[in-house]
Structure 1
Amino acid sequence: MAEAGHIDALTPYARSLGILVDRWDGDIPVLRVEFDATVEGRPEHYHGGATGGLLETAGYGVLRAELDRLGRTAVLKPINITVQYLSAGKSRTSYAKGRITKLGRRSANITVEAWQDDPARPIATAVMNVLMADA
């Protein structure tokens, strides 16, 4: 992931949802997605898949940023991702950021939170386990 707002480092799926790097919180990218028809599920609410996509993108973003910081290159392969939907995402901007809970030589464990108005009140969380294969 590059500087704030730079979309080229994001996957085509993330770009299709309109996900952007909003800002950096230290070394951690904070992502955002605006509410529009692309991410709408039931009227005036985010589709669960769009919320899951935001969480997953934020998880890979924090891992990629840390690997770049360490000078490591790896192909990231998902082992699993578990999403907990805590409340409905309403028709406004959503944000997400991840935190690496364990970074090993071959795998990483990441927790991610998505929120709208208040980071202390997440709308969804995720736990990701990612394999880091040699590039």
Structure 2
Amino acid sequence: MPDNSSAALTAYARSLGIEVSDHEDGVPVLTVGFGPVIEGRPGAFHGGATSGLLETAGYAALRARLASDGRDPQLKPINITVQFLSAGKQKTTYAKGRITRLGRRNANVSVEAWQDDRDRPIATAIMNVLMADREG
């Protein structure tokens, strides 16, 4: 699937309202607006919604890079570690992934989510992903 449209997002991501808002250096920047679907405690983003945005942004960055390399493996999570740095407020939240290592079978991705100031992330994630050949 092309990484430059909302069609590339999973049903889960779409159910949270996650959208592709921009591309920077060929990597999608994802966004989600605040609303009742993603609200946790009153007036704050739910931690699961924040984690979902981070994970989706990480996979979007990895898929974009793999597509540019002409690769289409099946992606399987090895582990994902999320660090919550501050509560998400009633604002639009952005997220972007960065490939830190890309091998033949494994990839490491770091992801940041922010609201007003990109230099002050509200959460970060580190993802380790197995890239398996598609059976077919």
Using the size of structure 1 for normalisation, the TM-score is 0.97
In structure 1, distance between residues paired with 2:60 and 2:34: 21
Tell me what 2:15 maps to.
Answer: 16
**SS state at 1:8 partner:** helix
Q: Which runs of 5+ in 1 are unaligned?
A: none
State the SS of the aligned residue for 1:43: coil
1:36 aligns with 2:35: yes
- Aligned pair count reads 133
Q: Name the residue aligned to 1:133.
A: 132
**Cα distance between partner residues in 1 of 2:6 and 2:90:** 22
The answer to whether the Cα contact below 8 Å between 2:3 and 2:28 also exists between their aligned partners in 1 is: no
* Aligned match of 2:62: 63
Q: Is the contact between residue 3 and residue 63 of structure 2 (CA under 8 Å) also seen in structure 1?
A: no
Which one-letter code corresponds to 1:2 in the other structure? D
Task: Give yes or no for contact 2:97–2:110 (8 Å, CA) kept in 1.
Answer: yes
Aligned equivalents of 2:16, 2:85: Cα separation in 1:
21
Q: Give 3-state SS (helix, strand or coil) of 1:44's partner.
A: coil
- After the TM superposition, list the runs of 4 or more consecutive aligned residues in structure 1 that deviate by more than 3 angstroms: none
- Output the amino acid matched with 1:56: E
Q: Percent identity?
A: 65
Residue 115 of structure 1 aligns with which residue?
114
Which structure 2 segments of 5+ residues have no match?
Answer: none
Which residue identity is paired with 1:8? A
Equivalent residues of 2:21, 2:30 under 8 A apart: yes
Residue by residue, what CA displacement relative to the aligned partner does 1:39-81 show, whole Å, maximum 9, x if unpaired?
A: 0001110000000000000000000000000000100000000
In structure 1, the partner of 2:86 is 87
User: Displacement, 1:2?
Assistant: 3.2
Mapped to 2, the partners of 1:123 and 1:72 lie a distance apart of 32
Match of 2:77 in 1: 78
RMSD after superposition: 0.7
